[in-house]
Amino acid sequence: MFEILKAGGWGMLPILACSAIGLAIVLERFWTLRRNAVLPPGLGEQVRSWAHSQQLNPAHIQALRENSPLGELLAAALDVRNRSRAEIKERIEDTGRHVVHGLERYLNTLGTIALIGPLLGLLGTVFGLIRMFLAVMVSGVGDPMKMAGGIGEALVCTASGLVVAIPAYVLHRYFRSRVRGYVVQMEKQATALLDELSVARPTPIDTRTPAGTSVPRPARVAG
């Protein structure tokens, strides 16, 4: 294997660097995007139970915020639970954008590696062909070994670029799809909590008498 990589020439260096970075990102994303870490089982039901029974205090909310991405989203709603439904919904949307950004961390880098992998392989191929033609110009076509070296360098770089790019592209699409699925589930939990907060805090009825009207007095019963 080392001999094959060595045959690729210096063009293999950026390809190997991209493969190392891509592997680190894939391992980190697999660990971070575990379902139990993003959407802990039963967390939404537990938070709605807290909201229903009014068992909410700053310690509860802070622990919830540090629990998971879903917990961070639900904690944002609880922070403004005494405000109107529109304000709570706006806070959920603002926090949701930050949560999604965290879930998609490093995915752009992985997508970039999938894009530039074949280009780096093509660059190595071009340099391999240039090396072959220079060898032909110096010694003619009588030495096939020098031509084979240039062709081998070109083929190794091309294959290595594709070997790095194809898994990176597939895993990039896979992680993006997983994040979208998590976002849908978090939206459902946030909407359920919003409904619970609206029920737990009903809109007060305005009992003031409108201007220009009088309160009717009870009729006097004749003695």
Is the full-model pTM beyond 0.85? no
Residue-level pLDDT, tens digit, the chain, 223 residues: 556 556 656 778 888 899 999 999 999 999 999 999 999 999 989 888 888 887 778 888 888 899 899 999 999 999 888 888 899 899 999 999 999 999 999 999 999 999 999 998 888 888 777 777 776 676 665 556 656 666 777 778 888 889 999 999 999 999 999 999 999 999 999 999 998 888 765 444 444 444 444 434 434 434 3
Question: Is 37 part of any domain?
Answer: yes
Question: Is 83 part of any domain?
Answer: yes
Which residues constitute the domain of residue 26?
A: 2-200
Question: Is 214 part of any domain?
Answer: no
CA distances 217 to 60, 69, 177, 209, 223, Å, are 50, 58, 67, 14, 18
Give the pLDDT of residue 129.
77
Give the pLDDT of residue 127.
78
Residues recorded for the chain: 223
Question: Is 211 part of any domain?
Answer: no
CA-nearest of 216, 134, 211, 120 to 168 is 120
* Number of domains observed in the structure of the chain: 1
Give the pLDDT of residue 213.
41
Task: Tell the burial category of 163 from Cβ atoms under 10 Å away from its Cβ (0-12, 13-18, 19+).
Answer: middle
Task: Tell the burial category of 12 from Cβ atoms under 10 Å away from its Cβ (0-12, 13-18, 19+).
Answer: buried
Q: How far apart are CA 169 and CA 171, in angstroms?
A: 6
Q: In this structure, which long-range contacts are made by residues 199-203, counting pairs with CB atoms below 8 Å and at least 24 apart in sequence?
A: 199/52, 200/51, 200/52, 200/54, 201/81, 201/82
Give the pLDDT of residue 220.
46
